[in-house]
Chains A and B, each alone.
Chain A
Amino acid sequence: MTEAKGLKEVWRTLAVLVALAVVLPAIIPGLLNEGVAAKGGDWKSVTVLYTTDIKGKIEPCG
């Protein structure tokens, strides 16, 4: 009985973590947006994509 109760706690914790994993990526940029705005300045959102050392490959081997 004690073991079953312990397992229930584990599942509950896992459920919370899964929910956070889904929700946090959505809300953190918003929070940070507010955070940087609070610092003052003229903050702009920019995405940098980058590659290096492609070495002539057009697709990986295998």
Chain B
Amino acid sequence: MLDGGDLFGRPNANDREQTRFLCSATGDLGFDAIGLGEKELNYGLPFLMEMIEKYDLPYVNANVRDTKTGELILPEYLVVEKAGIKFGITSVLTQAQKLKSMTDDDLGLEVQAALPVLRELIPRMREEVDSVVLVGHLGEGSTETALKDVVGVDIAVMGHTFRNIKTERVVGDCALFSSAHEGRYIGRADLFIDATDGSVQAIQVESIDLDDKIENDPDMLERVNGFKEEMVAFNEAKRSKYPRSLGSEKESYLGDRSCKKCHEDLWASYAESQHMRAFRTIRLKGQNTEPECLVCHTTGYRFMNGYEDERPYNDLINVQCEACHGYGSEHARDGKWAAQAKDSCVVCHDQENSPEFDYATYWEKIKH
């Protein structure tokens, strides 16, 4: 069994817990090799290493090195014996993605160009094994380019894809199997392999849709359901750190469109600021359900009648006027500022999230 990488989820706490569960299940499924994808670094290198060690995950990669030591972070290739054939399995990662985690933009890792690495490595592997397998986390076009350039790969599985691709093909002397995407499919290739030289004949290749027609494994189903219950408790614990206890039940947030009706010039200034893009930045990182992020990327998250992160949702995304000035209902009633806006900056622009914050400098960015 092979996996082409990007087993891990998006860079947020929920996905990290889900990934932890997935790693435990993957370890039990008995994969022979898993290629390193860039998503494997989403929770940092120590987390990846913890998963590898704890669940005995056979990760492999030949082109990601520690910048300081120059050492590979994972085994360069694995040797697996099946049906009397010695397979050498390696993987390379695309250079197209910057390696970063949810907390660190620089992991101190270098991704080397895949082709020179493979040109040097494959002949060395062939001296030791009967058949060479590449689990390439390179994407559609680059995998084919690599196989046309590098001689000596017998079987390749393509990772770093964004759709399910069913078309298997022969590139040079290599049988290339395409992706079986997002766990919705599993690819199966029945092969004849010549033990004397590793050459391959495929007799049947199929992409199996893992839909309701495939019966659930009772033990795995029980584990998944147990995990879901754990996640409910996990999410409740996270949310409880940010109780909706501030403000007043009698007051309401009116939303920036209401402010615009009387303050179009001020609203125009807001519309040009990063405050109006605050939710987008967490959505792009998959963090838009994280309470600790929502506190500062929405309006009134900890206040009564503020941003709702459960159904029915409301329009209070972004750091709108009322995030700094308080309930619009108060202001609409007496025309006064409901809050001293200046003091509210440091609630979010604190040492942890905004260490370079300086009121005079930052004010220029939102001046209104």
**Interface set of A (CB-CB < 8 Å, partner B):** 25, 28-29, 32-33, 36, 41-60
- 7 A-B pairs with C-beta separation under 8 A: A32-B201, A42-B196, A45-B191, A50-B186, A52-B3, A52-B179, A59-B183
A54-B6, A59-B224 as given contacts; A49 in contact with B1, CB under 8 Å: yes
Asked if B204 is at the interface of the complex by the 8 Å CB criterion, the answer is yes
A44-B83, A44-B195 as given contacts; A56 in contact with B188, CB under 8 Å: no
Residues of A within 8 A of B187 (CB): 48-51
Nearest Cβ in chain B — how far from A61, in angstroms?
10
Asked if B189 is at the interface of the complex by the 8 Å CB criterion, the answer is yes
Asked if B21 is at the interface of the complex by the 8 Å CB criterion, the answer is yes
Whether B224 pairs with A58 at a CB distance below 8 angstroms is: yes
What per-residue 1/0 map shows which CB atoms of B142-170 lie under 8 Å from chain A?
A: 00000000000001011111100000000
Interface centre among A52, A55, A56 (most CB of B within 10 A): A52
What per-residue 1/0 map shows which CB atoms of B178-208 lie under 8 Å from chain A?
A: 0111111111111111111101010110000
Whether A52 pairs with B159 at a CB distance below 8 angstroms is: yes
A45-B190, A48-B155 as given contacts; A58 in contact with B227, CB under 8 Å: yes
Residues of B within 8 A of A33 (CB): 192
- CA A50 to CA B145, docked complex, whole Å: 21
Asked if B56 is at the interface of the complex by the 8 Å CB criterion, the answer is no
Residues of B within 8 A of A53 (CB): 4-6, 37, 159-162, 179, 181-182
Whether B191 pairs with A47 at a CB distance below 8 angstroms is: yes
- CA A59 to CA B21, docked complex, whole Å: 12
Interface of A (DSSP majority class) = mixed
Asked if B10 is at the interface of the complex by the 8 Å CB criterion, the answer is yes
**Interface set of B (CB-CB < 8 Å, partner A):** 1-10, 15, 18-19, 21-22, 25, 37, 39, 82-85, 155, 157-162, 177, 179-197, 199, 201, 203-204, 210, 224, 227
Residue of A nearest to B195 (CB): A42
Q: Which of B2, B18, B84, B185 contacts A48 (CB 8 A)?
A: B2
Nearest Cβ in chain A — how far from B173, in angstroms?
14
A32-B201, A58-B21 as given contacts; A52 in contact with B194, CB under 8 Å: no
Nearest Cβ in chain A — how far from B38, in angstroms?
11
Residue of A nearest to B180 (CB): A51
Residue of B nearest to A57 (CB): B183
A36-B201, A41-B194, A41-B196 as given contacts; A50 in contact with B39, CB under 8 Å: no
Q: Which of A28, A32, A54, A60 contacts B192 (CB 8 A)?
A: A32
Q: Which of A29, A43, A57 contacts B195 (CB 8 A)?
A: A43
Contacts A50-B177, A50-B186 known; list 8 others, CB within 8 Å.
A48-B187, A48-B188, A50-B187, A51-B1, A51-B2, A51-B183, A54-B182, A57-B183
- CA A15 to CA B204, docked complex, whole Å: 24
A44-B192, A53-B182 as given contacts; A58 in contact with B18, CB under 8 Å: yes
Q: Which of A32, A51, A55, A58 contacts B186 (CB 8 A)?
A: A51
- CA A46 to CA B201, docked complex, whole Å: 10
Residues of B within 8 A of A47 (CB): 188-191
Nearest Cβ in chain A — how far from B34, in angstroms?
9
Nearest Cβ in chain A — how far from B27, in angstroms?
14
A36-B192, A42-B196 as given contacts; A54 in contact with B3, CB under 8 Å: yes
Whether A52 pairs with B203 at a CB distance below 8 angstroms is: no
Whether B84 pairs with A44 at a CB distance below 8 angstroms is: yes
Whether A43 pairs with B6 at a CB distance below 8 angstroms is: no
Residues of B within 8 A of A55 (CB): 6-10, 39, 182-183
Residue of B nearest to A54 (CB): B183
Residues of A within 8 A of B184 (CB): 60
Q: Which of B3, B9, B84, B197 contacts A50 (CB 8 A)?
A: B3
Whether A48 pairs with B8 at a CB distance below 8 angstroms is: no
A49-B2, A54-B3, A54-B6 as given contacts; A44 in contact with B182, CB under 8 Å: no
Residues of B within 8 A of A41 (CB): 194-197, 199
